[in-house]
Amino acid sequence: MAKYLLRTFAIAYLFLLVAWPVSLVVTHTFANGFDALHAIFTNADLLSALRLSAIAAFIATVINTVFGVSVSLLLVRTRFPGQRILGALLDLPLSVSPIVVGLALVLVYGPLNGWFGPALEAQGIHVIYATLGIVLATSFVSLPLVIREVVPVLREVGDDQEQAARSLGANEWQTFWRITLPSIRWAVVYGVVLTLARSLGEFGAVKVVSGNVSGETRTAPLAVEEAYLNFNQEGAYALAFVLASVSVICIAIVAVLRHRSGKVHS
Amino acid sequence: MSIEVTGVNKRFGDFVALENIDLSIPTGQLTALLGPSGGGKTTLLRIIAGLESADSGTVVIEGQDATGLPVQKRNVGFVFQHYAAFKHLSVARNVAFGLEIRKRPKAEIKKKVDELLELVHLGQFAGRLPSQLSGGQRQRMALARALAIEPSVLLLDEPFGALDAKVRKELREWLRRLHDEVHVTTVFVTHDQEEALEVADSIVVINQGRIEQIGSPDDLYDRPANDFVQSFLGPVTTFNGRVVRPHDIDVTTHEVPGTTAGSVDRLTRIGLEVRLDVSVAGSDAPITAVVTRAEALSLGIEPGSKVWLRAV
């Protein structure tokens, strides 16, 4: 009895909090058939916003994947002083408000008063109010996602296989590509997808650093807000639908891949 | 000599794992490093392999100083207790790994892998994943993988420790036959004295980071250097202040000059033999003696019987 009660409660909770609101985004998007979606893909500014979001998310994901896998190896396979502090610091981007991240980046890279900003500006490198700043902010907020997926898997597989590979003559690099990476590949894929989804949707930090200039530094989530504030509800929902679809597709792909790999290995 | 270990010391924090180890392992032999857990035998094996570095001392393999060489340059075959199978690679690719790293031609790799899989009786499993093999099969695969690189020495760390008793017994007989075929200098670590006595040409007994004795199985069993070696290699009992093997105590049911009287507390049947726990006046712990079952029956020994003991 208690089991059914709990199940009903969980389903109701998820329905009211997630499924219903998200489904409303879908119904609003298609209130007038495909008109709203069509409008997005014919509007140059909105297309440029989507493109900018895709570029920033892609670069941030590449950076965080390379960085995340390296840091995970560092945390699991080596011992050094300050390791636990580093591990704790890595969760900071998840716990701190994205707005704070944006403001912090402006403090460091701001073109007028930032620590590095004026020097970089003198070299012709624009960070704040430019694509680079958007990439930085996006990387910051999605930094721990790959690490959080990879670290437990690395711990679980242990280093026996790596030692065996080295005893058979493989150097560090060969051991990584041939043994370590294949054994953590699903964790990496999952981390990459989560990072991509999170990066595409980043709003707060990007809002502070981007300058939000339509057609130049306005990302898709910022365009959603803009449309919403300008009483273009249909446009806002349509763009939101596009963003949400990408995330849902990503997670669906991973679920299918994981299911398959699970079958092969067990 | 195939492996020369000189003056090796190793500590983990305050714990002394190895203390001043000197050891020569002759070419082509099957040598066992035998001792209780935590005695340092696995550490010594890993130092020979280069998976662990010694605090001081040198390791020479086939005349070449390997002390500073990383494991991948030592050309040693290493077999791990828990197989360390490459889970995402087929059995054939596992065995081929070392050859692929050495960039040997494809045809040569295939030929060698086929040969080795036949040698370890896994020919029909070439395309399987390690997860589809039993423990014993995985360990044979790991052995083929280590042999593929034609190692100067083959090192096995408790190779049968994770297997059940029956498979363990089969595999050690098989290892002995395999060694007679391939003749590669082999060192294996074990805490099972029966395994060491049955398989090895020579045994190195290691305890608390030191070598207690080196010798052939017969040497060790018949001429142990000290009480530790004697008690580790088989059952012992203390009789008249001397440590002797229970087999070496003669049991009679009538008084004979030069014997000690006692009474049987307990009989335990172990296969074809019977173990007697005999309490003797003036001795705290009961004395253990072993007789054949036929002997026990013909003497009519049962709990409470009066017996006379004599060390042979």
The pTM of this model reads 0.83
In a domain, A14, yes or no: no
Q: Would A171 be classed as within a structural domain?
A: yes
More confident residue, B89 or A212: B89
- Report the C-alpha gap between A2 and B268 in whole angstroms: 55
A164/B78 Cβ within 8 A: yes
CATH number of the domain enclosing A139: 1.10.3720.10
Which amino acid type is present at position A126?
H
Average pLDDT over residues B80-103: 95
**B150 touches A at CB < 8 Å:** no
Evaluate whether residue A88 is within a structural domain. yes
Q: Which residue matches tokens 């892609």?
A: A58
Selecting from B51, B85, B98 the residue whose C-beta is nearest the C-beta of A168 gives B98
- A4 within some domain: no
Q: What is the full DSSP assignment across B8-56?
A: EEEEETTEEEEEEEEEEE-TT-EEEEE--TTSSHHHHHHHHHTSS--SE
Number of domain units in chain A: 1
Q: What is the pLDDT of residues B129-163, one digit of tens each?
A: 999 999 999 999 999 999 999 999 999 999 998 88
Residue numbers in B near A266 (CB within 8 A): 131
Contact B285, B243 (CB under 8 A): no
Q: Report yes or no: A181 at the B interface, CB cutoff 8 Å.
A: no
Residue numbers of the domain that contains A72: 32-260
Q: Which of residues 95-114 of B touch A (CB under 8 A)?
A: 97-98, 101-102
pLDDT of residue A154: 95
The torsion angle over the Cα atoms of residues B38, B40, B42 and B48, rounded to 10 degrees, is 170
Query: Taking a contact as any Cβ pair under 8 Å apart, which residues of chain B between 70 and 89 contact chain A?
Result: 70-73, 75-78, 80, 82, 84-88
A265–B101 C-beta distance less than 8 A = no
Q: How many C-beta atoms surround the C-beta of residue A14 within 10 A? A: 11
pLDDT in tens, B208-257: 999 999 999 999 988 999 989 998 988 888 888 888 889 889 898 888 88
Please report whether residue A133 resides in a domain. Answer: yes
Residues counted in chain A: 266
- Across residues B26-31, what is the average pLDDT? 93
Give the separation between CA A208 and CA B261, rounded to whole angstroms. 97
Question: Of A197, A246, A195, which is closest to residue A61 (Cα–Cα)?
Answer: A195
Probe site for chain A from B97, B112, B158 (most A CB atoms < 10 A): B97
What's residue B300's pLDDT? 87
Tokens (6 digits) for B225: 């250097």
Residue A161 to residue B77, Cβ atoms within 8 A: no
* B142 contacts A167? CB cut-off 8 A: no
Place of tokens 């509007």: A43
Contact B141, B91 (CB under 8 A): yes
pLDDT at position A264: 45
> How many other C-beta atoms lie within 10 A of the C-beta of residue A223?
26
Judged by CB atoms within 8 Å, which residues 153-172 of A form the interface with B? 160-161, 163-171
HSE, CB side, 13 Å, CA atoms: give it for residue B32: 29
CB count within 10 Å of CB B297 equals 11
List CB contacts (< 8 A) between B98 and chain A.
168-169
8 Å CB contact of B101 and A174: yes
Q: Considering the domain boundaries, does residue A20 fall inside one?
A: no
Is position A137 within any domain? yes
B200 interfacial to chain A (CB closer than 8 Å) = no
Assigned domain for A8 exists: no
- Rounded CA separation B6/B128 (Å): 43
**Token digits for B12?**
């983990």
- Taking the Cβ of residue B51 and every Cβ of chain A, the question of whether any pair is shorter than 8 Å is answered with yes
ipTM: 0.85
pLDDT tens over chain A, length 266 residues:
788 999 999 999 999 998 899 888 888 888 888 888 888 888 888 889 999 999 999 999 999 999 999 999 999 999 999 888 998 889 888 889 999 999 999 888 887 777 888 888 888 888 888 889 999 999 999 999 999 999 999 999 999 999 999 999 999 999 999 999 999 998 999 899 989 988 998 899 999 988 888 888 899 999 999 889 998 888 888 889 999 898 888 888 888 877 776 654 43
